[in-house]
Amino acid sequence: MISYYKELTGRIHVTSAIWLHDGLWLPKEIFPHLIYEAERAMLHQLQLESCDPPLFSLRELAADAQALVQTLDDVNVTAKPPPPTNRTEKKHRE
């Protein structure tokens, strides 16, 4: 993965990347052709054959992220404790 990351960052400035166990999360501003170009260069550098389909797949995560945010919002609404009351109670000592 480090070989791929070096190839990609040699082609474009990557402002943000999250390294996962099986890939990278990259900003959507990085054009797909650059992602695949870096893959081909990495394979060439490692003296490996190009793959069809490519090793890396692209997936838009906006819908998944929105669904997660909505789920978390729904959980927060149902899990919020009741607001505190303004009454005060005096404790009696025995």
The per-residue pLDDT for range 6-43, each reduced to its tens digit, is: 999 999 999 988 888 888 888 888 999 999 999 999 99
- 21: CB partners within 8 A, 6+ apart: none
Please check whether residue 63 lies inside any domain of the structure. yes
Cα(12)–Cα(14) distance, rounded to whole angstroms?
6
- 56: CB partners within 8 A, 6+ apart: 4, 23, 35, 36, 39
**The predicted structure's pLDDT at residue 50:** 82
Range of the domain at 72: 2-79
Please check whether residue 85 lies inside any domain of the structure. no
Domain count, the chain: 1
| Residue of 33, 27, 28 whose CA lies nearest to 15 | 27
Give me the helix-helix angle, 2-9 and 32-45, nearest 10°. 130
Please check whether residue 89 lies inside any domain of the structure. no
